[in-house]
Amino acid sequence: MQINILRIFCGLLQATLVGSVLVAEAAPPSSQPQTVDLTPRLASGDVAQVTAKLEVGGEVLVTDDAGEEKPLPMSVVAELAYTEQFVLWSADVDARLASLRRYDRADATLKVGDQGEDRSLPAERRDLVAVAVGELQLVNRPGAVVPLTRAQLDLVDLPANTLVLDRLMPGGMMTIGDNWAHDALTMAALLGLDRVGACEVHSAAVGVERDQVQIRMAGTVNGTADGAATELEVRGAYLFHLKLGRITKFNLAVQEKRKAGEISPGLDVTAKLTLVVKPVDANQAPFDAEAVAAAADAEPTALARLAVDDPRRGFRFQHGSEWFVTGEQPQLLSLRLWRGGELLAHCNVTTLPGRSEKHPTTIAELEADVKTALGKKIESISAAEEWIAPNGNRCLAVFANGKVDEAPIQWRYYLITAPGRPQASVAVTVEQDRLEAFADADRELIDTLELVGDEPATAAKTQAIR
């Protein structure tokens, strides 16, 4: 059945990828089957120039005020160009991979409904480190004072990550006409999925021309993306250069149907990616030995750190990549923590008017506000403390325990102040039986939060404890 699916999709590719440089040639007639070595030969120090174009069209499924799911037309066009210098590479799916990238271009145009937005990676944030370990793929600026924002990460986090792309190759000698199955871990990395539950994807070598093996890929993948169940039909056409020992051109077409999840809307889209990899001489490597050593030792926790960096809100802070922004208003930012396939916490960050230095909010006042807001839901105050953060902010915290519909809950309320600045309220809600897994994931946000800009014109005091 898998081979029949493969043959059907290979036929469809002729129409899908018309005009492509990857149009298949039939294997040359021969009395002996033609064999080729499909072993990738990538190594530390290899350098390549990469260009990529991604086009996505379809519908995003959003929930309206009445709770009904509503489809909105959406489209994305993204174009990237970067030089990639490999630091660590192995065909072993369990091995750690790393590279350095210098982006010459990273631009995208996004449209949802009647709204559109252009995005571009700032010039000062175009030297990045990419790391892949199993299903985990990270791209960021380790050691930078300000890491990438989620929007900037989305610009460079495309399917067919060139760090993992050549793991599609089976290794060893193959005969033209043979096919091979792709493992779930490789497809998760290739498609940017959290997990893969079922994977039936094959590639087949269909011809050779000018030292390049022409390969077709097709099949289906079921898994999760951003915690939501998704189904994908995958079709691909790519070239493996026998002398260079790597994939040099890759076309991918994906039809995805994703259910709405806790941190992302539903999708019904088609995506098409065109990727060209041009190896260059190692003397064109853009990074020095110090940068290479730093990339080899980059910690995943540092690479997973993202920034909320919008001074117009009155605050900026850093957070782990497992926190996702799920709602935005002029003076309110809502986030959810998704870790290990579970929704662990909700968080609201709110801008509030500043208070006189002569009459600052006391811990007793904050505790009283918390008790008033929670009412009968509260059972006890488990913590109430005040401290000065490393950046000089005054921080107040009150933790309250209680129940909602018989579920034990802990509410964590923080108030962050600084002279001459607006205040910030941070309200975190987490179920008590998930506190161990939560592991104080809010503290990085609190410790890095900066108060910036002018005080907001209006804000209600009660917002501090929402």
pLDDT tens digit sequence for 431-452: 999 999 999 999 999 999 999 8
Ramachandran bin of 371, using left for φ above 0, alpha for ψ from -120 to 50, beta for the remaining angles: alpha
What percentage of the chain exceeds 70 in pLDDT?
90
pLDDT at residue 32, rounded to an integer: 56
List pLDDT tens digits, range 125-138: 999 999 998 778 89
pLDDT at residue 466, rounded to an integer: 34
Give the Cβ contact number of residue 389 at 10 Å. Answer: 15
Q: Which residues pair with 410 in a beta bridge?
A: 401, 430
Q: Which residues pair with 342 in a beta bridge?
A: 339
Q: Which of 87-91, 195-199, 309-313, 378-382 has the lowest mean pLDDT?
A: 309-313
pLDDT of residue 177 exceeding 50: yes
Give me the mean pLDDT over the 207-233 stretch. 95
List pLDDT tens digits, range 288-316: 999 999 999 998 888 999 999 878 888 99
pLDDT at residue 25, rounded to an integer: 42
Q: Which residues pair with 201 in a beta bridge?
A: 219
* CA 80/CA 206 separation, integer angstroms: 29
Ramachandran bin of 405, using left for φ above 0, alpha for ψ from -120 to 50, beta for the remaining angles: left
> Using 50, 70 and 90 to split pLDDT, how confident is the model at 454?
low
pLDDT of residue 334 exceeding 50: yes
Q: Are 140 and 129 in contact (CB under 8 A)?
A: yes
Cβ neighbours of residue 183 under 8 Å, at least 6 residues apart? 93, 199
pLDDT at residue 236, rounded to an integer: 97
> Using 50, 70 and 90 to split pLDDT, how confident is the model at 465?
very low
pLDDT of residue 142 exceeding 70: yes
pLDDT at residue 398, rounded to an integer: 98
pLDDT at residue 458, rounded to an integer: 44
Give me the mean pLDDT over the 246-271 stretch. 95
Q: Which residues pair with 280 in a beta bridge?
A: 47
Structure tokens at 83: 């030089």
pLDDT of residue 455 exceeding 70: no
* CA 20/CA 14 separation, integer angstroms: 9
> Using 50, 70 and 90 to split pLDDT, how confident is the model at 410?
very high
List pLDDT tens digits, range 347-397: 999 999 888 778 889 999 999 999 999 999 999 999 999 999 988 999 999
> Using 50, 70 and 90 to split pLDDT, how confident is the model at 21?
very low
What percentage of the chain exceeds 90 in pLDDT?
74
Minimal CA–CA distance to 13: which of 235, 240, 239, 221? Answer: 235
Q: Are 300 and 322 in contact (CB under 8 A)?
A: no
Give the Cβ contact number of residue 434 at 10 Å. Answer: 17
Average pLDDT of the chain?
88
Q: Is 186 helix (H, G, I), strand (E, B) or coil?
A: helix
Q: Which residues pair with 394 in a beta bridge?
A: 388, 417
pLDDT of residue 26 exceeding 60: no
pLDDT at residue 354, rounded to an integer: 83
Polymer length of the chain: 466
Output Rg (C-alpha) for the chain, integer angstroms: 25
pLDDT at residue 330, rounded to an integer: 85
What amino acid is encoded at 287 in this protein? Answer: F
